[in-house]
Amino acid sequence: MERKIRVLIAKPGLDGHDRGAKTVATVLRDHGMEVVYSGLHQTPEMIAEAALQEDVDVVGLSILSGAHMSLFPRIREELIKRDMGEVLLTGGGIIPEDDMESLESDGFAKLFGPGTKTDDIADWIKAAMKARWAAEAS
């Protein structure tokens, strides 16, 4: 039996818009992943602790507030504090291209902007995890 990918979809900060996060969570479930949704207004510490407690492979962040450059690195730091630095970090929302590049060079595997097809996100996560698991097995 193939291992299921475990994903935490989280909404950091004061951003109150969660339709996109819920849509992505549903699509990932439809693609056979186990998905936990954090709910709104999560702190970096709450997100990292949920990732630890749920033993996830992937943390996907959704943000529309513009606070990504302060919140995303803090979430990564909190994951590292919990020995979860190997978790696949991804996310999306309203993030300028320069900020995406900066965050991706700082440990975020891939960030998605508005208009990204949800199936493309699911396919990317599946391919990334397949590659990670293959590298671990060898």
Indicate which CATH number applies to the domain containing 35: 3.40.50.280
Per-residue confidence (pLDDT) for residue 2, from 0 to 100:
77
Per-residue confidence (pLDDT) for residue 124, from 0 to 100:
98
Q: 74 in helix, strand or coil?
A: helix
Task: List, for the chain, all residue ranges whose pLDDT scores fall below the cut of 70.
Answer: 1
Phi first, then psi: give them for residue 105, nearest 5 degrees. Answer: -75, -10
In a domain, 56, yes or no: yes
Say how far residue 107 (Cα) sits from the centre of its chain.
12
* Gap between the Cα atoms of 32 and 104, Å rounded: 26
Exposed/middle/buried for residue 71 (C-beta within 10 Å: 0-12, 13-18, 19+): buried
Residue 86 tokens read as 């190997």
In a domain, 36, yes or no: yes
In a domain, 122, yes or no: yes
Per-residue confidence (pLDDT) for residue 138, from 0 to 100:
87
Structurally, the chain folds into a number of domains equal to 1
In a domain, 32, yes or no: yes
Mean pLDDT estimate for the chain: 96
In a domain, 26, yes or no: yes
* Gap between the Cα atoms of 63 and 75, Å rounded: 13
Structural domain containing residue 60 = 6-137
